[in-house]
Structure 1
Amino acid sequence: MTTIKKYSKLLLGLIFMNISLMIQAQKADTAFIKKPIDYMTYINLVGKSNLSYAAEKFNINIADVAIQTARIFPDPQLGFGWFDNGQKRMKLGYGFNSEVSWTLEMGGKRKARIEVARNQAQLSRLLLDNYYNNLRADATLAYLLAIQNRIVLDVESDSYLQMKKLAESDSIRFKLGVITQVDARQSKLEAGTMLNDVFSAEAEWKSSLANLSLLTGKTKSDSLLYPQGDFSGFERQFSLQDLVIEAQNNRADLKAALQSKTVSQSLLKQAKADRAIDLGLSFGVNNAAYVRNTIAPTPAMTTVNAGISVPLKFSNNRSGDLRAAQYGTLQAETTYKQTELQIQTEVSQAYFTYIAAQKQVNQFKSGLLTEAKAILEGKIYSYKRGQSSLLEVLNAQRTYNDVQHDYYGTLYNYAVALVELERAAGIWDINF
């Protein structure tokens, strides 16, 4: 009866310890509200609410305003004057004058300005498209990372719970004298180590969830987005040659590089137009008061004058601005060729990475994960029957954990490789 009472207390103690550890492991997980969200809803939310993207959109407004500014003609100048002959004793009188002057731009300066502004506005739109394409890909990678971290947390939690059960069983078996105290302590130590791995994986998972909130412009801190889905649906069949052609036709950064050439050419035209000599037009009215001098009295009179002024542009002897614009054109041409070559390289690299990841995924379909799990279950069964050592069980557990990490890591890398390949090719059909 004493033995039964002793074992009953032991079992109750283990149950309370189990409950305490479960609460400890789950406390941080329930401290926030998880809002499930599917991929398409998430990516649409990124496009609508991402603050960095919203800030980039203002470049379009700024460029449109620049077109309006380029249309402005030079402002006229209005001048007024007053004069006094300064001979009050001789009564030579005083007068007023007024003049309107205006610069007449020659050489097509205004047209060149407008062309530059329009080309720069188009460049801003292409750069915005490129920004969104990269944002969409980066947001997708963040979404996939959150799923991967959740899976890693599940793997670590399952491993910990299995080892914890084994440690509880070993504690009972030690009390019964079936195993040594060293084995009981070793299994308990392994369970504690795995619990630390659970905490670490949980922190990584929550950090990735917080990053999703950043990308969606979410401001509330009492809840986190909880991504749905897995790593299925990322299998595609591609041709490298077709992908390169797609990239050359669709990549927004290549279009932007081509538009930069157009902008540089329009800047060169503007630099040439700015060297043209402008004309200054003026029109004025002068009014002289009545001169009451007794020797040469003069009646009041009003005169009208008009004139043209031609600046002497000695600065045209210095062609620095023109040469800078010419060099800018050559630079844009070189940048375009470099971008074109860079895109071909990126597509090739992304394609090879995707094919390699595809082969790795197919390798796991041969049953590596199932085999590792069967070995672990067999070792645990043998250990409980006294036919295997604890070291064999721990090695089998580590092998199974490594295989699980490799398997899910390979699936994750496969999905990431597809995202990077479609980013490089300028295509997009991701949906899972």
Structure 2
Amino acid sequence: MNNYITIVLLFLATAYSPSVVGQQIDTIAIKKPMDFLSFISAVGRENVAYAAARFDLDIAQAEIQTAGIFPDPELGFGWFNNGERRMKMGYGFTSEMTWTLELGGKRKARVNLARDQHELTSYLLDDYFRNLRADATIAYLRAIQNRQLLVVQLNSYQQLSQLAASDSIRYQLGVISQVDARQSKLEAGASLNEVYAAEAQYNMAISALSLLIGDSDRDLPVEPQGDLLNFDRTFNLQELITSALNNRADLKAALQSKNVSASVLRLARANRALDLGLTLGGTYSSYARNAIAPTPAFTTVNAGLSIPLKFSNGRSGELPAARYASLQGEQLYRQTELEVRTSVVQAFYAYQSAGKQVRQFDRGLLSEALAILDGKVYSYKRGETSLLELLNAQRTYNEVQQGYYQALYGYAEALVELERASGIWDINF
């Protein structure tokens, strides 16, 4: 009888192989395998939001050219009539060209301000990509984690399905009670629901990757490659802080913002200088045939200079506003520097903590949970352990596996956040 039961159970184990069970899972079959470096490269090339942000640099470059433009001259024409019909005094034409001569270095101040703003835009764009790269990496890691969690749930379902099939035969043979057989079947069904939930999480994660690379081909989502191992690094906190202060694009942007404020202040001072109005014109008067005072035709040329009376300089708020903005830029830079230091310290300790959690699993938690599960399965088949004890061991093993992959993901994510905060990047897997 025992040999017969063993043969039947072996047959069921073969029938419920992973290939057969896997056919019941409605996963997306066709995907585009893409390794991490190819994915990050695609993000830099194809991300739509980043492509839109790059136009800011072109706009800033165009504004430099605009700032260097001299004031346009103005050309005017006129016609006059001295009563030709009645008094025979003739008629004439006038022409005049006026141009504003800017003094006080206004054009130079505008160009310098536009150049500083262009450099600020460049730093802001670098910082945008720094955050985009880190966010894309975390999304890629999350997809790998969700795939591994799906595998955990799928393996658990396969084991419970095999157990349910085995218990059904054992019940028919009178080895176990009907309650135990029904409980095994119920647990297998509940496990399948967990597989569906894990599958949905994985599909949503890979869909997010397609968004990051601007992929409109939704029938071929990205399939991440690699695992969550090899994220162990050794760092010195003070060196990380120094690196952040030297390399963080947002800190460079804050420093450049101070330069922009100083350029705005110089432009405000230059705008207080007087501008000269230059005028050059000519007048033509026709022959006057008046009997009393006949006058031959003649042409006159005139040149002029106008000086504005800038009474508004005494009440202008532009200069004080620019001065306050410059002082504000100093404080904002100090605040940004403090935030950079704090973010590095926090990310460093978070990475250290995540590493301790991973090493805790590496000390034998997984192997111990698996050994307990194998022992419970063996004892259950011999009738020495209850079904409830076996199911508890199975749940414990699943939770330990899930905790392990979540810890690996947390460790990898902490490394990304630490390198994001420190202004360095050497992640590759």
TM bin, normalised by shorter chain, reads: over 0.9
Name the amino acid aligned to 1:162. Answer: Q
Separation in 2 of the partners of 1:246 and 1:76?
Answer: 52
Matches within 5 A, 1:298-317: 298-317=295-314
> Paired residue for 1:273, among 270, 281, 299?
270
Give 1:165's aligned amino acid.
Answer: Q
Answer yes or no: is 1:39 the counterpart of 2:53.
Answer: no
For structure 1, which segment, 87-96 or 146-155, has the greater mean C-alpha deviation from structure 2 after superposition?
87-96
CA deviation after TM superposition for structure 1 residue 89, in Å: 1.8
Q: Cα offset for 1:107?
A: 0.6
Select which of 88, 92, 99 maps to 2:89. 92
Report the counterpart of residue 148 of structure 1 in structure 2: 145
Q: 1:272 to 1:133 in 2, by over 3 A?
A: same
Q: Does 1:132 align with 2:132?
A: no
Distance 1:104 1:19, change over 3 A: closer
Aligned partners of 2:301, 2:15: CA distance in 1, in Å? 110
Q: Equivalents in 2 of 1:23, 1:429: separation in Å?
A: 39
- Name 2:155's counterpart in structure 1: 158
Deviation at 1:48, TM superposition (A): 1.2
Structure 1, unaligned runs of 5 or more: none
Once residues 17 and 239 of structure 2 are traced to their aligned partners in structure 1, the CA distance between those partners, rounded to angstroms, is 61
Aligned to 1:233: 230
1:103 aligns with 2:96: no
Once residues 196 and 190 of structure 1 are traced to their aligned partners in structure 2, the CA distance between those partners, rounded to angstroms, is: 10
**Could you tell me how far 1:262 is from its partner in structure 2?**
0.2
Aligned with 1:83 (options 80, 84, 87): 80
The reply on whether 1:365 has 2:347 as its aligned counterpart is: no
Q: How far apart, CA to CA, are the structure 2 residues paired with 1:332 and 1:367?
A: 54
Aligned AA (1:285): G
The amino acid of 1:133's aligned partner reads R
* Aligned partner letter, 2:267: Q
Trace 1:279-290 onto structure 2 (pairs within 5 A).
279-290=276-287
1:292 aligns with 2:289: yes
**CA offsets per residue over residues 208-263 of structure 1, 9 Å max, x none?**
11111111111111101111111122111111111111100110000000000000
> How far did residue 18 of structure 1 move?
10
In 2, Cα distance between equivalents of 1:165 and 1:16: 6
What residue number does 2:171 align with? Answer: 174
Deviation of the 1:22 alpha carbon: 4.5
Q: What is aligned with 2:61?
A: 64
Q: d(CA) in 2 for partners of 1:286 and 1:226?
A: 80
Q: Is it true that 1:400 corresponds to 2:401 in the alignment? A: no
Distance in 2 separating the partners of 1:209 and 1:297: 95
Q: Hey, what does 2:410 align to over in structure 1?
A: 413
Figure out how many residues of one structure are paired with residues of the other and give that number: 421
Q: Which amino acid aligns with 1:292?
A: R
Aligned CA distance change for structure 1 residues 20 and 409 (closer, same or farther; 3 Å): closer
CA RMSD, Structure 1 to Structure 2 (Å): 1.9
State the alpha-carbon separation in 1 of the partners of residues 230 and 401 from structure 2: 20
Say yes or no: does 1:202 pair with 2:207. no
Distance in 2 separating the partners of 1:22 and 1:216: 29
Look up the SS of the partner of 2:87 in the other structure: coil
Percent same amino acid at aligned positions? 60
Distance apart, 1:23 and its partner CA: 2.9
Looking at structure 1, the residues matched to 273 and 18 of structure 2 have their Cα atoms a distance apart, in angstroms, of 88
Q: Deviations over 1:18-75 (max 9, x none)?
A: 99865332x3332xx1111111111111111111111111111111100110110000
CA distance in 1, matches of 2:384, 2:248: 63
Whole-angstrom CA distance in 2 between matches of 1:183 and 1:160: 17
CA distance in 1, matches of 2:78, 2:283: 9
CA deviation vs aligned residue, 1:314-364 (integer Å, no higher than 9, x gap)? 221222111111111111111100000000000000000000111111111
User: With structure 1 as the length reference, what TM-score do the two structures score?
Assistant: 0.94
Q: Distance in 2 between matches of 1:17 and 1:338?
A: 60
Q: Please, which of 327, 330, 333 is the counterpart of residue 333 of structure 1?
A: 330
Question: Retained in 1: the 8 A contact 2:76–2:95?
Answer: yes
Cα 1:262–1:144, aligned 2, differ >3 Å: closer, same or farther? same
**Per the alignment, do residues 100 and 18 of structure 1 end up closer, same or farther by CA in structure 2, a change over 3 Å counting?**
closer
Distance 1:138 1:338 in 2: 24
* Cross-structure match for 1:73: 70
Task: For 1:387 and 1:150, locate their aligned partners in 2 and report how far apart those are by CA, in whole Å.
Answer: 36
Which residue does the alignment assign to 1:348? 345
User: Secondary structure of 1:135's partner?
Assistant: helix
Alignment partner of 2:239: what SS? helix
> What residue identity is the alignment partner of 2:415?
L
- Partner AA of 2:27 in structure 1: A
| CA deviation string 1:365-396 (max 9, x = no partner) | 11110010111111111111111111101110
- Matches of 1:22 and 1:421 in 2, distance apart? 38
1:4-26 deviation line (CA, Å, top 9, x unaligned):
9xx99xx99x969999865332x
Match of 2:372 in 1: 375
Give the whole-Å Cα distance in 2 for the aligned partners of 1:244 and 1:93. Answer: 85
How far apart, in 2, do the equivalents of 1:288 and 1:274 lie? 41
Comparing 226-235 with 64-73, which one deviates more in the overlay? 226-235
- 1:251 maps to 248
- Alignment pair present for 1:28 and 2:27: yes
Alpha-carbon distance between aligned partners in 1 of 2:86 and 2:227, rounded to the nearest angstrom = 104
Take 1:15 and 1:228, find their aligned partners in 2: how far apart are those partners?
A: 30
- Which residue is 1:218 aligned to? 215
Q: Distance in 2 between matches of 1:43 and 1:279?
A: 56
Select between 15-24 and 234-243 the one with higher mean Cα deviation: 15-24
2:381 alignment partner, one of 374, 379, 384? 384
2-structure distance, mates of 1:290, 1:85: 11
Task: List per-residue Cα deviations over 1:257-289 (Å, max 9, x = no partner).
Answer: 000000000000001111111000000000011
Q: 1:266 to 1:19 in 2, by over 3 A?
A: closer
1:264 is matched with which residue?
261
Q: Secondary structure at the match of 2:216?
A: coil
Structure 2 unaligned regions, length at least 5? none
Give the secondary-structure state (helix, strand or coil) at the position aligned to 1:307: strand
Aligned to 1:183: 180
Aligned mates of 1:364, 1:157 — CA distance in 2: 21
